[in-house]
Chains A and B, each alone.
Chain A
Amino acid sequence: MANHAVTILIVLSVVLIGLLIVRPSLMAVPGGKILAFIALFILPIAAIALGSAIHLKEAKSTDFCLSCHTMEPYGKSLRNDDQTYIPASHFQNNRIPRSEACYTCHTNYAMFGGVKAKLGGLRHLYIYYFKTVPEKLALYEPYNNRECLHCHAGARSFEETSPHKEMKEQLGTNDMSCLTCHNKIHDAQHADQIKLWKGP
């Protein structure tokens, strides 16, 4: 729907620009100058701004991340039938939106975290298309508990469960990683051997 709205805006802009190319004399009169300003400045800027918003939203989608061949094993691990794996249990039980599964857990919930995540994504695209993807993928920095606590903090299932209650401070300061105990993450190396969930 948003795509169609931007398309209409672009078509309008192209038609007006075309008109100015065919009839340059229009730009000599005051009304024509305003028309030229709208067609050559306002509408293209608006089209690019709206287009950016659409593309940035699209870049959050699980399909977008998994469209890179490198990410296929990680996508498979979301459908691991073994519910003890954290990504699989989150994905299959709707603890995260399935349409934005990768982004939900791998963005940065600090200030400008979304911008940082998108810059990281741009870097990944650059490496994917123009460089060599490393054989073993790794996070840029250790997984921050903040990303888990963004949803789990305050939840009864987290707050009242041992040992979360006793370790709350260490978890909050990252002195103890959530992954120390919840250590079954993406089993990308054995993605071809895992039994897959047949759900939607």
Chain B
Amino acid sequence: MAENTPQLQRRLKIAAYLLIAGLVVEVLTLYWSSPLSFMLFIGVAGTLVAVGVIVYLTAIVAA
């Protein structure tokens, strides 16, 4: 666990929370058939997951 610094852990935690939030929003939109759910999927779920993945990748690259 030598390279698993507190800063890395904090970033991974942020990524994890962002991803969970995005995935939860995605599940909700999948069971709600409406144009608004499409917007939520693109605008909220997609954005949260994209940001989460970017935070995760930058964290492991920077470590």
Q: What residues make up the interface of A, taking CB atoms closer than 8 Å to B?
A: 3, 6-7, 10, 13-14, 17-18, 20-21, 24-25, 27-29, 36, 40-41, 44-45, 47-48, 51-52, 54-55, 58-59, 61, 63-64, 67-68, 122, 125, 128-129
Some 27 contacts from A to B, beta carbons below 8 A apart, are: A6-B27, A7-B30, A10-B26, A17-B19, A17-B20, A20-B12, A20-B16, A24-B4, A24-B12, A27-B9, A28-B2, A28-B4, A29-B1, A40-B12, A40-B16, A40-B52, A44-B52, A48-B22, A48-B45, A48-B49, A51-B30, A51-B41, A52-B41, A59-B38, A63-B33, A64-B35, A67-B33
Q: Is the interface of A mostly helix, strand, loop or mixed?
A: helix
| Closest chain A residue, CB of each to CB of B1 | A28
Decide if A125 touches B35 in the complex (CB within 8 Å).
Answer: yes
B41 contacts A13, C-beta separation under 8 Å? no
B: which residues have CB within 8 A of A? 1-4, 9, 12-13, 15-17, 19-20, 22-24, 26-27, 29-31, 33-39, 41-42, 45-46, 49-50, 52-53, 56-57
Chain A positions within 8 Å of B19 at CB level: 13, 17, 40, 44
Does B30 lie within 8 Å of A125, measured CB to CB?
Answer: no
Distance between A157 CB and nearest chain B CB, rounded to angstroms: 36
Min Cβ gap B13→A in Å is: 6
Known: A41-B53, A52-B46. 17 other contacts (CB 8 A): A6-B30, A7-B27, A10-B23, A17-B16, A17-B20, A21-B13, A27-B9, A28-B1, A28-B3, A36-B12, A40-B52, A51-B29, A55-B42, A64-B33, A122-B42, A125-B39, A129-B36
A27 to B29, CA, bound (A): 31
Write the chain A residue with the least CB distance to B46: A48
A residues in contact with B38, CB < 8 Å: 55, 58-59, 64, 125
